[in-house]
């Protein structure tokens, strides 16, 4: 089977059993339930092992390009072994296979709740706790590896040319793929261009103004920055949260990791964890403060101290405004994907809030 052929139909239990055995020969499938959501094929499995029954999650490449999909289990292994970030343990991964729908991998199933799009419904103290943990997690992540370009993480073996830098995970190496850029400014401009091209018609009245606002601050990126490994999809939908304590049980979905500039990663996490709140919403500042507190605990400070990867200079606030504008384009471009499950009335309220937040930023 060509690795790019998606598992475009429900995988049979016989196939799933073979996939489990390809990862762990002594394990066997007892029961499989497909996940209700997800772009790639995800199954919740009950398996029999020599140590007794256990629950796992199998993820197989269906939507992403295989080269985009392959790094995720190896990133999970890296994060588990070298940080305190809670992630599912990886039982094993198959990068390529001549008969089964590879790549795929098997991870443990953890307890916890997913609270996608519920930042405004959670107690603000819970959101602060999650943001403080997020800052700590991002700080740890930013200290992993030695990267020399900005862009998506790939297995070095998937690159057309030998990539420089990166980080070893067992017998594999994770590095920036062929699409990487040496200039952070060029990377940010590409992010803005991609989002602007996809902005939905309902937001056309403010999208161009956001891009002009960002363009006026791009010169704040006219110097070199050190790329760090980041999680640029750190949102409630990718967290398992303990229902009682409100703490993070697991950080999920490492399939789209990039190297980036640290301040940008914190601003994007702020947007997500604040629920894309308007800029006069006090919840946003509490999320931002908690992120910075957690980040400082890990890195030794958020003000450019010797142990901190953040750059502090006269352009720090302009960079923040630039990042707020660029990331504010994201929900305008992916509005239908993110909020398609809402009722018509809810979508109108959400759209009005995003438009109001954009206008507040623009002043």
pLDDT digits (tens, 9 = 90+) for 87-99: 999 999 999 999 9
Q: What is the pLDDT of residues 105-153, one digit of tens each?
A: 999 999 999 988 888 889 999 999 999 999 999 999 999 999 999 999 9
Query: Quick one: pLDDT band at residue 308, thresholds 50, 70, 90?
Result: low
**Strand residues in the chain grouped as ranges (E):** 28-34, 41-49, 52-60, 90-94, 104-108, 146-147, 151-155, 165-169, 172-176, 228-230, 239-241, 248-251, 258-260
Name the residue ranges covered by the structural domains of the chain: 13-108, 124-362
Q: Note whether 13-108 and 124-362 share their fold.
A: no
Are 328 and 321 in contact by the 8 Å Cβ rule? The answer is no
Q: What is the pLDDT of residues 146-195, one digit of tens each?
A: 999 999 999 999 988 888 899 999 999 999 999 899 999 999 999 999 99
Q: How far apart are the first and last CA of the chain?
A: 55
Which pLDDT score is estimated for 9?
A: 61
Which pLDDT score is estimated for 212?
A: 96
Q: How many residues does the chain have?
A: 363
Candidate CATH numbers 3.30.70.1380, 2.40.50.140, 3.40.50.720, 3.30.200.20; the one for domain 13-108: 3.30.200.20
| CA–CA distance, 309 with 129 (Å, rounded to integer) | 22
Are 248 and 87 in contact by the 8 Å Cβ rule? The answer is no
Q: What is the mean pLDDT of the chain?
A: 92
Beta-strand pair 172-176/104-108: unpaired
Name the percent of the chain lying above pLDDT 70: 95
- Residue 8 scores a pLDDT above 60: no
- Residue 272 scores a pLDDT above 80: yes
Domain at 124-362: CATH code? 3.90.1200.10
- 197 Cβ partners below 8 Å, 6+ apart? 333
Are 17 and 24 in contact by the 8 Å Cβ rule? The answer is no
- Quick one: which of 123, 117, 136 has its CA closest to 265? 136
111: left (phi over 0), alpha (psi -120 to 50) or beta: beta
| CA–CA distance, 116 with 325 (Å, rounded to integer) | 22
| 0.85 surpassed by pTM | yes
| CA–CA distance, 286 with 243 (Å, rounded to integer) | 21
């Amino acid at each position: 089977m060509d690795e790019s052929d998606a598992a475009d139909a429900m995988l049979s239990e016989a196939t799933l059993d073979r996939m489990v055995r390809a990862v762990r020969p002594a394990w066997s499938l007892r029961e499989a339930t497909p996940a209700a959501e997800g772009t790639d094929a995800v199954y919740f499995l009950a398996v029999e092992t020599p140590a007794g029954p256990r629950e796992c999650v199998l993820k197989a490449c269906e939507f992403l390009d295989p080269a985009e999909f392959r790094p995720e289990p190896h990133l999970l292994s890296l994060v588990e072994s070298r940080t305190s970030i809670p992630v599912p343990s990886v039982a094993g991964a198959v990068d390529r296979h001549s008969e089964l729908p590879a790549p795929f991998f098997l991870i443990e199933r953890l307890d916890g709740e997913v609270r996608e799009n519920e930042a405004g419904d959670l107690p603000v103290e819970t959101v602060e706790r999650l943001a403080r943990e997020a800052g700590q997690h991002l700080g740890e992540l930013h200290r992993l590896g030695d990267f020399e370009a900005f862009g998506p993480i790939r297995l070095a073996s998937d690159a057309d040319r030998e990539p420089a830098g990166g980080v070893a995970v067992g017998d594999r190496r994770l590095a920036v793929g062929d699409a990487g850029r040496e200039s952070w400014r060029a990377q940010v401009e590409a992010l803005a261009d991609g989002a602007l091209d996809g902005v939905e018609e309902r937001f056309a009245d403010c999208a161009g103004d956001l891009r002009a606002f960002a363009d006026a601050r791009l010169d704040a990126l006219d110097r070199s920055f050190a790329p760090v490994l980041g999680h640029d999809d750190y949102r409630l939908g990718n967290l398992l949260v303990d229902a009682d304590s409100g703490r993070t049980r697991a950080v999920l979905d490492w399939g789209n990791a990039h190297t980036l500039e640290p301040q940008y990663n914190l601003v994007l996490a702020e947007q997500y964890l604040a629920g894309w709140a308007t800029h006069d919403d006090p919840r946003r500042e509490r999320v931002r403060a908690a992120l910075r507190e957690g980040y400082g605990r890990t890195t030794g400070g958020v003000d450019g101290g010797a142990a901190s990867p953040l750059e502090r200079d006269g352009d720090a606030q302009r960079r923040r405004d630039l990042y707020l504008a660029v990331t504010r384009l994201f929900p305008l471009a992916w509005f239908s994907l993110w909020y398609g499950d809402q009722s018509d009335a809810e979508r109108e309220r959400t759209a009005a809030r995003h438009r109001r937040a954009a206008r507040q930023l623009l002043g």
